[in-house]
Amino acid sequence: MNIYLNNAATGWPRAHNVIKAVSYMLEHQPSNSGRVSAESDTIIGECRKLVARLLDVSDPSRIILTVNATHALNLAIHGLNLGNNDHIITTVLEHNSVLRPVNHLREKYPGLRISVINLDNNGQLDYEKFSQALSAEPTVVIINHASNVTGHIYDVAGLFSDAKKAGAITVLDATQTTGAIPVSPMRLNADLVAFTGHKALHGPPGTGGLYVSPELELKQVYVGGTGIRSDMALHPPEMPLRLEAGTPNSPAIAGLHAALQWHEKKGNEYSKLTGKYIQRLYEELSEIRGVSIFDKNSDVDRVGVISFKIEGWSVEETGYILAESFGIICRTGLHCAPLIHKAIGSAPEGTVRFSVSGFNTDEDIMCAIKAIRKLSS
Amino acid sequence: MKICNKIKVEDCFDGSSVFEYFFNSAWSKNEIYSLECMGHLEYFPEFPRPFFRVIQKGGLQIKGVEGDTKCRVILPKKNREKTEILLENTFSNI
């Protein structure tokens, strides 16, 4: 069995009962005919409630269930009705799930202004540049809660507070943090929060969602079947159906529901283990000659991610050898976040990334450290 | 070694020149050393599964692991077709 250190891509193994819940939904005859009418009784409604509880949101109808965080971010970015007179502020931390929708919008609206905030020498977002951008009538501010390349968790509450004072709508990409640390839209001053179910929550792939503030009404990007009120010519305007069209992936949602139940019981314990393992990797890899860690600042909070490279080996080759020779599964390259690499000094080839979870063991971490020692000797 | 399959490897970059070759038998130490004719060979027996790589000045790279039935190849942009034919002939003659 290989050692799995690619949890920032997808959390593995799946949480307790996830597989059973998915199988149950596939094996058993569907019972309810409608969707919203039975919302409170269905697994979908229950899942929405658990997500709301996780995000400290009082009204579950503000939680839109999507097929992943990319879907959620597209619903958010395209749902804001942006155009030529708008100004988006975002950062070099962002994943392509933010950058590409934003770039596609600019293709459509050449007058759309985009400010991309860089990192300062400490790996923090350049606050001076951020403040300058805020003074130029921002419409939307989109920030990644934690980098999927470095694991660095950003203090978005203050940045979003300033953004809201400047009149901007705030969008949080909480893909790496949901399930790993507390994510509360209210405390973080976020109007929209995108998350996924298959990373720190260890739910099935193909699950995720978007929190939408009651202050906001997003444009409907997808419209169609809802299973109820079929006599209406237009898609129902009420949340959550307003932003959910078509048959939901109920087996996957049942799996997410099981993952959320597991997380309520075990999430803290597993997050602590994740913290212990990543700290160990930072400490040990820092001591190995020939290993360069990117964004090494020890004063910051992190999710379970470390990025590095080894002298004498290309990043791609390191990943290949770790997988094929040592049986360690990790990720190499740009990690779908192309802009951060110039800022942290890992351009153009990117990094080798280890991303751990509470399902790893002390032995996994020791094996990984030994493998890196061997490769750098 | 008979080539059974060849697939393009997609990664973060333009993967049009990266291929995984699959063979009917596994790479042994002797077979690995027979790749010396293709470029500079490095063999790392100290790894849990010994790793090898061949780097040619023209840009061709071959890498793999002893005991495996596959290897990864990066074809050069220049003289790509010629190199590919030569490489596949070399594999077939091992």
In sequence order, what DSSP letters do the residues of B23-88 get, joined into one string?
ESSPPPHHHHHGGGGGSEEEEETTSSS-EEEEE-TTS-EEEEETT-SEEEEE--STTHHHHHHHHH
The alpha carbon of residue B33 is apart from the nearest alpha carbon of chain A, in Å, by 18
Q: Please, what's the largest Cα pairwise distance for chain B?
A: 35
Cβ separation A324–B13 shorter than 8 A: no
Cβ separation A316–B64 shorter than 8 A: no
Phi-psi region of A293 (alpha: psi -120 to 50; beta: other; left: phi over 0): beta
Identify the bridge partners of residue A129 per DSSP, sorted by sequence position: none
Task: Report chain B's mean pLDDT, rounded to a whole number.
Answer: 95
Task: Report whether pLDDT(A38) > 60.
Answer: no
Cβ separation B72–A320 shorter than 8 A: yes
Domain boundaries, chain A: 3-11+267-376, 18-261
Cβ separation B47–A326 shorter than 8 A: yes
Q: Superfamily for A3-11+267-376?
A: Aspartate Aminotransferase, domain 1 (3.90.1150.10)
Q: For residue range A147-160, what is the model confidence (pLDDT) as tens digits? A: 999 999 999 999 99
Q: Band the pLDDT of A51: cuts 50, 70, 90.
A: very high
Q: Kindly list the strands in the beta sheet with B40-44, ordered across the sheet, starting from the edge strand earlier in the chain.
A: B3-8, B18-23, B70-74, B61-65, B51-55, B40-44
- Give the per-residue SS3 of A340-376: HHHHHCCCCCCEEEEECCCCCCHHHHHHHHHHHHHHH
For residue B11, the chain A residues in CB contact (below 8 A) are 316, 332-333
Q: Band the pLDDT of A35: cuts 50, 70, 90.
A: low
Task: Report whether pLDDT(A40) > 60.
Answer: no
End-to-end CA distance of chain A: 25
Residue the block writes with tokens 């399902």: A359
Q: Per-residue pLDDT averaged across A273-286, rounded?
A: 97
Give the model's pLDDT for residue A33: 52
Task: Report chain A's mean pLDDT, rounded to a whole number.
Answer: 95
Give the CB-side neighbour count of residue A55, counting CA atoms within 13 A.
36
Give the model's pLDDT for residue A37: 47
Give the model's pLDDT for residue A299: 84
Of A278, A270, A296, A271, the closest CA to residue A369 belongs to A278
Q: Which of A27-41, A256-270, A335-349 has the lowest mean pLDDT?
A: A27-41
CATH architecture of A18-261: 3-Layer(aba) Sandwich (3.40)
Give the Cα-Cα-Cα angle B57, A352, A275 (nearest 5 degrees).
Answer: 165
Q: To probe the interface with A, which of B10, B12, B20, B54 has the most A CB atoms within 10 Å?
A: B12
- CA dihedral B8→B11→B16→B19, nearest 10 degrees, is -30
Of A306, A94, A295, A125, the closest CA to residue A194 belongs to A94
> CA A267, CA A269: separation in Å to the nearest integer?
6
For residue B53, the chain A residues in CB contact (below 8 A) are 317
For residue B10, the chain A residues in CB contact (below 8 A) are none
Residue the block writes with tokens 């979003």: A160
Give the model's pLDDT for residue A63: 98
Contact A322, A167 (CB under 8 A): no
Identify the bridge partners of residue A306 per DSSP, sorted by sequence position: A354
Task: Report whether pLDDT(B87) > 60.
Answer: yes
Q: Kindly list the strands in the beta sheet with A140-144, ordered across the sheet, starting from the edge strand earlier in the chain.
A: A63-66, A208-212, A192-196, A169-173, A140-144, A87-91, A113-117
Residue the block writes with tokens 């992943």: A68
Q: Which residues of B54-85 are buried (b: 16+ CB within 10 A; e: fewer)?
A: bbbeebbbbbbbbeeebbbbbbbeeeeeebbe
Q: Per-residue pLDDT averaged across A60-83, rounded?
A: 98
Contact B2, B23 (CB under 8 A): yes
Give the CB-side neighbour count of residue B56, counting CA atoms within 13 A.
22
Q: Which two tokens stand for residue A119?
A: 């990192």
Q: Per-residue pLDDT averaged across A266-273, rounded?
A: 98
For residue A350, the chain B residues in CB contact (below 8 A) are 12
